[in-house]
């Protein structure tokens, strides 16, 4: 993917005390101490990580639901955001095609398979130009943006603010980093994971494709990286 055809992803919000909050949630389940006493304990990072790892691997996922992170995402196609918004434990605020009227050529994302073929890329761009002209004709004739947008393509660029808790973040990574996921959402989710791992390196083993977490592939068509469950 060319650099200017790539998602732009920034982690804009996360708790400062992520590890300690999760540790407090985990240890509260097994301790006579109050949650606040646990939170203020001097337990070191190694001890906190060891308990958190045990609790997450036993599937006690409510403990990581206390952590909320927010990403600012732009330069992605509507095809990509449409897939993202299928995730039901996330909150979204997306650039509206009703309130934001396109002026001149709208931005669009070219899939890399088309981008690398000069002839097809030219056809793709000409077609975007044609759509843009018709869109302008409609809006100039007084058609509201909410109706003129009906002719905008899946390739039209969008921006979205997405928030989710850590349990959903791990689920999202496990599903969408899989090679079966579409290239653009896979690229975007990888960037979200990298942003978070930059701040919280301990999350790296969890923010991986599902096959890496579970040691097998449950997809019908496998990339062959891990043994298939059905075999
Ligand atoms: C490779 C790939 C191909 C896909 N292809 C298609 C396709 O062809 N057509 C299509 O329509 N979609 C497709 N999807 C989208 C897919 O079906 C899911 O809608 C999407 O991945 C969201 O996943 P989810 O439901 O697990 O996660 P989320 O909505 O993020 O929910 C997380 C988890 O919460 C639980 N949960 C959430 N809501 C409910 C509920 N109502 N009842 C019970 N449990 C719930 C489930 O355990 C779920 O796994 C595809 C996804 C992938 C990754």
pLDDT in tens, 130-166: 999 999 999 999 999 999 999 999 999 999 999 999 9
Is the Cβ atom of 171 under 6 angstroms away from ligand 1? yes
Residue with tokens 């996921």: 181
C-alpha 196/C-alpha 202 separation (Å) is 10
pTM to 2 decimal places: 0.95
Is the Cβ atom of 118 under 6 angstroms away from ligand 1? no
Active site residue 176: yes
**Range(s) of the chain covered by CATH 3.30.1360.170:** 3-93+157-214
Kindly give, in sequence order, each residue whose CB lies less than 8 Å from that of residue 127, ignoring residues fewer than 6 positions away: none
One of 27, 149, 176, 186 is an active-site residue; which one? 176
Q: How is domain 3-93+157-214 classified at the architecture level of CATH?
A: 2-Layer Sandwich (3.30)
C-alpha 134/C-alpha 140 separation (Å) is 10
Note the pLDDT of residue 98.
96
Residue ID of nearest Cα to ligand 1 atom 19: 86
For the stretch 71-84, pLDDT in tens is 999 999 999 999 99
Q: Which tokens belong to 209?
A: 């494709």
For the stretch 167-181, pLDDT in tens is 999 999 999 999 999
Note the pLDDT of residue 231.
65
Residue 195 has pLDDT above 80, yes or no: yes
């Amino acid at each position: 993917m060319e650099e200017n055809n790539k998602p732009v992803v920034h982690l804009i919000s996360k708790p400062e005390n992520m590890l300690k909050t999760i540790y407090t949630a985990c240890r509260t389940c097994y301790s006579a101490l109050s949650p606040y006493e646990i939170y203020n304990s001097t337990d070191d990072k190694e001890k906190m990580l060891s308990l958190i790892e045990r609790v997450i691997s036993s599937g006690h996922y409510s403990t990581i639901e206390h952590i909320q992170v927010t990403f600012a995402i732009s330069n992605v196609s509507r095809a990509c955001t449409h897939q993202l918004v299928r995730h039901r434990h996330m909150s979204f605020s997306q650039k509206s095609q009703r309130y934001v009227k396109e002026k001149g050529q709208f931005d669009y994302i070219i899939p890399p398979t088309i981008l690398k073929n000069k002839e097809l890329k030219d056809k793709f761009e000409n077609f975007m130009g044609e759509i843009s002209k018709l869109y302008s004709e409609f809006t100039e004739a007084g058609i509201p943006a909410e109706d003129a947008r009906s002719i905008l393509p899946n390739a039209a660029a969008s921006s979205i603010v997405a928030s989710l808790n850590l349990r959903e973040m791990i689920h999202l990574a496990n599903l969408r980093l899989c090679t079966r996921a579409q290239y653009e959402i896979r690229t975007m989710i990888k960037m979200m994971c990298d942003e978070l791992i930059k701040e919280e390196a301990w999350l790296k083993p969890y923010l991986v494709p599902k096959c890496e977490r579970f040691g097998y592939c449950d997809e019908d068509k496998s990339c062959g990286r891990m043994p298939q469950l059905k075999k």
